[in-house]
Amino acid sequence: MSEAAVSLPEVTRSISADISFINSNKGKPLLVANNYIFKLNKTTATTKYWIRTLNECLAKVRFIIYSC
């Protein structure tokens, strides 16, 4: 299992979730967390930002990239 920081409109928390990755029909990465699908919105040197694929949903996921 992986940990992700989940941002809701008024809540930021760290949770343990079932997380997997799939590809869209166009070959883009999609994140599946607890049966919700997110698309990659932005990548920086240290963080990847994912947003829900449904426009009416405001949930977001942020992954912090650790280098070993």
pLDDT tens, residue by residue, 10-63: 445 555 668 889 999 999 999 998 888 999 999 999 999 999 988 777 788 887
Q: Containing domain of residue 19, as a range?
A: 2-64
d(CA 53, CA 68): 31
This prediction's pTM: 0.66
List the beta bridge partners of residue 40. Answer: 50
CA distances in angstroms from 16 to 4, 5, 25, 33, 68, listed in the order given: 7, 9, 28, 10, 21
20 or 1, which is more confident?
Answer: 20
pLDDT value at residue 17: 67
In the structure, what pLDDT confidence band is assigned to residue 1 with cuts at 50, 70 and 90?
very low
In the chain, the number of structural domains is 1
pLDDT value at residue 13: 56
